[in-house]
Amino acid sequence: MVVAPIILAVCVGLVIGALRRGRLASIARTRIRHPEFLLVAIAASLFVDLTDMGPSGAIALLGLIGGLAFAIVNVHLAGMTVIAIGIGANLLPIALNGAMPVRPEALVEAEMVTVDELPRVTLNGARELSDDSTILSILGDTFPVRWTNQVVSIGDLIMMVGLAALVSNLMLQRRRPRLHPSALPALEAMGWHEEIDLTTEAGTGVVTIDLRDPVDEQWVDEQWVDEQWVDEQWVDEQWVDEQRVDTVEPAPPA
């Protein structure tokens, strides 16, 4: 598990999110689907890295499948598609070789071993030194990271980009305030309707939203409204002429 690059990606995502005026509290409101897939991925990765027991290649492959499944079921979160691509890039060489191939020269460039030590190097976990018989060695651990004494793969780099994007976008989630029922007549008099045109990943359509309820309790194609972008604008910004409800005079009683 490449802990240092993961921390770096999270920090980059937090900085980008802060620059975009995001909020940390928004991350805690994220609703993820099937977290058990993520737990399988983390448990398998820790088991392979911390122990030298059992078929490490098969366990690592199981963890990557769990991580890929988690990314797919949560693909509605911005950045998760990129993470899924990175996981897939790591999954292929392990599935084809039984372990993650590691470029020997990268170990030297990362200052993990010297050239003289290479012939005596053995790797633990689901890793093996690549050679001429290795399949898709380009997708293995080929990039040295000298400041952490690690070697990472193309898939790792792709996942780091996706993780940074995921964190920054999660910080931008917003909740729509509850609309008091007394404001409804005034809004309807201004031409407001309870139907909002939304462009979602499933297509364009009209969704009926009860203005008396919080928007974050309404489903849109099995996705929460507060996680939907409309041309990169939040649903809670779709107000009539961008006027606040509390500035509208209530309609006279009938």
> How would you write the pLDDT of the chain (254 residues) with one tens digit per residue?
567 888 999 999 999 999 999 998 889 888 899 999 999 999 999 998 888 777 888 999 999 999 999 999 999 999 999 999 999 999 999 999 999 999 999 999 998 999 989 888 888 888 999 999 999 999 999 999 888 888 999 999 999 999 999 999 999 986 555 555 666 676 666 666 554 444 444 444 444 444 444 444 333 433 434 434 333 333 444 433 334 444 444 555 55
pLDDT of residue 224: 39
Same-domain pairing of 43 and 157: yes
Look at the chain and report how many structural domains it folds into.
Answer: 2
Contact between 18 and 172 (Cβ < 8 Å): no
Give bridge partners of residue 129 from the DSSP assignment: 102
Q: Residue 5: its pLDDT value, please? A: 83
Q: Does any domain span residue 254?
A: no
Map tokens 């084809």 to a residue. 96
Other C-beta atoms closer than 10 Å to the C-beta of 90 total 25
Residue type at 210?
D
In a domain, 253, yes or no: no
- Residues 137, 221, single domain; the answer is no
Instruction: Examine residue 156 and state whether it is found in any structural domain, yes or no.
Output: yes
Residues 117 and 229 in one domain: no
Q: What is the pLDDT of residue 202?
A: 45
Is 252 within a domain?
A: no
Range of the domain at 125: 3-170
Residues 82 and 195 in one domain: no
Beta partners for residue 205, in sequence order: 198
Indicate whether 88 and 212 sit together in one domain: no
Q: Which of 170, 189, 222 is the last residue of a domain?
A: 170
Find the helix packing angle between 56-73 and 80-97, rounded to 10°. 160
* Domain co-membership, 162 together with 205: no
Among 66, 103, 75, 114, which Cα is nearest to 200's?
A: 75
Residue 108 lies in a domain: yes
Q: Is residue 175 part of a domain?
A: no
At residue 183, the pLDDT reads: 64
Residues 145 and 233 in one domain: no
What does the DSSP assignment read for 75-133? Answer: TTSTTHHHHHHHHHHHHHHHHHHSSEEE-HHHHHHTTSS-GGGGGG----SSEEE--TT
190 and 230, same domain (yes or no): yes
Domain membership of residue 31 (yes or no) is yes
| Same domain as 197, residue 163 | no
Which pTM does this prediction carry? 0.68
What confidence score (pLDDT) does residue 184 get?
A: 64
Domain-terminating residue out of 137, 170, 203 = 170
Residues 95 and 126 in one domain: yes
204 and 79 share one domain: no
**Domain boundary at 170, 203, 218, which?**
170
Does 218 share its domain with 144?
no
Would you say residue 176 lies in a domain?
Answer: no
